[in-house]
Amino acid sequence: MYETSLYLSILFESPKQTAAVIPHIFHLDARDKARSEPRSLHAIVVALLYQLVSTYPSQSLYHRYLGYLPTTVLLKGSPLEVWLDSLASQLRRRNYAKFDALSHKSAWPDALNDDLRETRKALYSRWPDNTDMQHLPSKSFLFILDNLRRHAGDAAWTVIRSAYRELSCDVSSGETTTWLARSLCLESLMSEARSVAVEAWLNEKTPLDHVQAKEGATGRWIIRKPR
């Protein structure tokens, strides 16, 4: 029941409900001590990723809940522990291109990957119309990880906007375009329709006075500095 409540609260973006149910996922008592073994691996991972999202860029709650886990659940040095640690570490270091690579399915640990691969295959072309309860754990994982990617992309843009005066995204600047797409985490994990091309993303930023197309130069953008 608690796991289902966690997944649904995340998918329906109900933070109060999510915050209320997470202590039950970790079997915590009133003194914030784990009383018994935590619940399913998917519930634990989704709850931990939610903590990275809910207080972004702070990771204090994430590490607090991570500390509740017995080593029998998340073995030190296991592929899943290493993946979670690397994900959080690259966010702290603001290495958004590496974070993007780690958050893609090719980097997911085997403990999650097989089930998630099948779920993503089933959902990718028709998210969010598929309401099959069978895949709630995987859908909530994809949803919260995509949410974290959006936070990382916004943070990356703040850094890029402060560091650069101009961007080149023409046909001869393929490496720059690829770097931007990765750093801004523009590819959605859930649906191809939710992914955004770099040029389209920059066009969306134009009315916000973040960028301006350079006159007479196709694919070149002048960055407008924050006021």
Residue 16 neighbours by CB distance under 10 Å: 8
Q: What is the pTM of this model?
A: 0.88
d(CA 182, CA 110): 23
Whole-number percent of the chain with pLDDT over 90: 63
Counting the structural domains of the chain, the total is 1
CATH number at residue 156: 1.25.40
Count of CA atoms in the C-beta half-sphere (13 A) of 55: 14
Q: Is 174 exposed, middle or buried (0-12, 13-18, 19+ CB in 10 A)?
A: exposed
27 in Cβ contact with 157 (< 8 Å) = no
Looking at residue 14, what is its pLDDT?
Answer: 97
d(CA 80, CA 135): 20
Q: Give the structural domain span for 185.
A: 2-223
d(CA 157, CA 191): 22
Q: What pLDDT digit, counting tens, does each position of 132-185 carry?
A: 667 788 889 999 999 999 999 999 999 999 999 999 988 788 899 999 999 999
pLDDT block averages, 10 residues each, the chain of length 227:
92 96 83 61 93 97 92 88 97 96 91 60 47 77 96 96 92 87 94 90 95 91 88
d(CA 172, CA 95): 25
Looking at residue 5, what is its pLDDT?
Answer: 94
Looking at residue 55, what is its pLDDT?
Answer: 95
